[in-house]
Amino acid sequence: MNLDRFSSSFDQNRDRIVSQWMELLAFPSISTEPAHHRDCLACAEWLVRHLHSIGFDNARLLQTPGKPVVFAERPGRPGKPVVLFYGHYDVQPVDPVSEWRTPPFTPTLLDGRMRARGAQDNKGQHFYALKALETLIRDDRLQATVKIIIEGEEECGSHGISATMTEWRERLQADLLLITDIAMDGPRTPTITMGLRGLIHLTAELSGPLRDLHSGAHGGVAPNPALELPRLLATLHARDGVIAVPGFYDGVQPISPEEKVLALSMPFDPELYRRQTGVPPTGGERGRPVAERLGLRPCIDVNGIHAGFDGPGVKTIIPAKARAKLTARLAAGQDPALCLAALEAHLRQHAPEGLTLTIVEKGVGGPGFRLSPQSEWIARAAATLRGMYNTEPTRRWEGASIPVIAGLARVSGAEPLLVGFGLEEDSIHAPNESFALEQFRNGYLYVASLLAGL
């Protein structure tokens, strides 16, 4: 049995694999923070060396207008499929760093979990794939051609790879786009993802007062950025949670009757959701099933808002400025650039009298997309997962974004296959990110088994 062989291979090499994984996690490769640019480069160079060591002789960096992309290619036997594996070596910021129980870039294996920023997203979830490839190459069981692309800007919009990938069209041609940067619904629920949402972002600032003004001497007269920015943000949604930005819904791919049925049939336990997240699933557009709101419909979120005083007690000021950071998740069919323009136009139209609205930053990630549930690759992945879990894998649509996937699928001609081993408990994007070694091992078994069969 393949699975037994791969299991014992992993267990025999466990200490070495964990040690190498910790080396990779020690790089503070935070792509959104310019101060960590060098750390990102060092991380990319480590990956190139590592790929060389496991049998990808031509591993190298491809330059982009942003951070370089790690690329490697290993020819397989003629007539065998071409697999393009995608991952990213950059990670989210770590603030508030005071809430981390272990330092985010001092990887710590404790109680069976690797604790570090990136332990799961995405260093854990691409490193098990590399380890699976290492095993297949060493045992001479890899017949497919394998191409690897690991970018360094997934957490900030994938600008470099997006700007350059069309130049690499020949190099990227593939049959299967293998993606593991994704979660599963539960530890015993293997999950195949049939779509992702797109992403746009915008940072808005309201300013005007030359300095913080005394709220007694000016309250009721001076327009207050910390009062007006909330009022402006409140115009983004109607009372029922529907987005009130004109034109924002243009192009949203209609939900087919088959998808409607599938959405309603997807298992969802509101009480479990509340226990796992602390909140009931009452956000977004009222009256739609959770699976629709999460995977098939767009949403706008405030990721941060900051103005004025936040200490104990009272500080009677009208703050000089207020800033909000927004992201929107886009459904399949929406044009990200048009959505961003609609959002900006709405904010400008509703900007308060007397204050200045500045769009400090804005950017377009990839669009959303949805796949056919009938794909051949989905069938193969389902068979592999059935072998591992003895259960039929769940199909679902993912609410998150991998901005570059829609673009990579288009350029490579490959069909994206999205199966990963993340769990809610991993706290990705939050303090104390971690990844169970057991899930890392499952990812390894999945990739090895899937590719061994090609």
Footprint of its own copies on residues 101-140 (CB under 8 A)? none
Nearest distance, CB of residue 388 and its own copies, angstroms: 23
Residue 423 binds its own copies (CB under 8 A): no
Say if CB 418 and CB 374 are below 8 A apart: no
299 is an interface residue for its own copies by CB under 8 A:
yes
Q: Which of 9, 20, 224, 384 binds its own copies (CB under 8 A)?
A: 224
* 199: contact with its own copies by CB under 8 A: yes
Q: Which residue has the tokens 């941060």?
A: 304
3-state secondary structure 101-138: CCCCCCCEEECCEEECCCCCCCHHHHHHHHHHHHHHHH
Q: Closer to its own copies by CB, 60 or 218: give it.
A: 218
Q: Which of 103, 216, 267, 287 binds its own copies (CB under 8 A)?
A: 216
Q: Which of 49, 210, 261, 374 binds its own copies (CB under 8 A)?
A: 210
The identity of residue 412, as a single letter, is S
Task: For helices 2-25 and 37-53, give the axis angle rounded to 10 degrees.
Answer: 150
Does the protein bind its own copies through residue 315 (CB under 8 A)?
yes
- Name the segment binding its own copies (CB under 8 A); options: 70-78, 173-181, 381-389, 421-429: 421-429
Interface with its own copies, residue 271, by CB under 8 A:
no
Question: Which range touches its own copies (CB under 8 A), out of 32-40, 51-59, 140-148, 165-173?
Answer: 32-40
For residue 333, what are the contacts with CB-CB under 8 A and spacing of at least 6?
Answer: 251, 252, 253, 367, 368
Q: Is 260 in the site for its own copies (CB under 8 A)?
A: no
Among 192, 194, 318, 409, binds its own copies (CB under 8 A): 318
**304 binding its own copies? (CB under 8 A):** yes
| Residue 66 or 68 having the CB closest to its own copies | 66
* Phi-psi sector, 141: left (phi>0), alpha (psi -120 to 50), beta: alpha
Stretches 123-131, 163-171, 297-305, 385-393: which one binds its own copies (CB under 8 A)? Answer: 297-305
Q: Does 98 bind its own copies (CB under 8 A)?
A: no
- Determine, following the binding rule CB under 8 A, whether residue 176 of this chain makes contact with its own copies: no
Cα(414)–Cα(176) distance, rounded to whole angstroms? 5
Tell me, what amino acid is at 387?
A: G
Query: Closer to its own copies at the Cβ: 24 or 355?
Result: 355
Cα–Cα distance for residue pair 109/119, rounded to 1 Å: 10
Structure tokens belonging to residue 312: 């104990």
* Residue of 352, 432, 450 lying closest to 132 (CA atoms): 450
Residue 311 found at the interface with its own copies (CB under 8 A): yes
Minimum CB separation from its own copies for residue 29, in Å?
A: 14
Q: For residues 142-171, which are near its own copies according to CB under 8 A?
A: 155-157
Q: If 0-12 CB within 10 Å is exposed, 13-18 middle and 19+ buried, where does residue 91 land?
A: buried
Helix (H) or strand (E) holding 418, with range, is strand 415-418
For the CB of residue 80, give the shortest distance to its own copies in the complex, in Å: 34
By CB under 8 A, residue 323 contacts its own copies:
yes
Does residue 269 interact with its own copies by CB under 8 A? Answer: no
Q: Which long-range contacts (CB under 8 A, 24 or more apart) does 267-276 make?
A: 267/185, 267/394, 276/424, 276/425
Nearest to 417 by CA among 405, 403, 404, 407: 405
In the list 218, 260, 380, 410, the residue contacting its own copies (rule: CB under 8 A) is: 218
CA atoms within 13 A on the CB side of 404: 29
Q: Which stretch binds its own copies (CB under 8 A): 54-62, 75-83, 290-298, 411-419?
A: 290-298
Q: Which of residues 327-366 bind its own copies (CB under 8 A)?
A: 327, 329, 353-355, 361, 363
> Is 214 one of the binding residues for its own copies (CB under 8 A)?
yes
Rule CB under 8 A: is residue 314 a binding residue for its own copies? yes
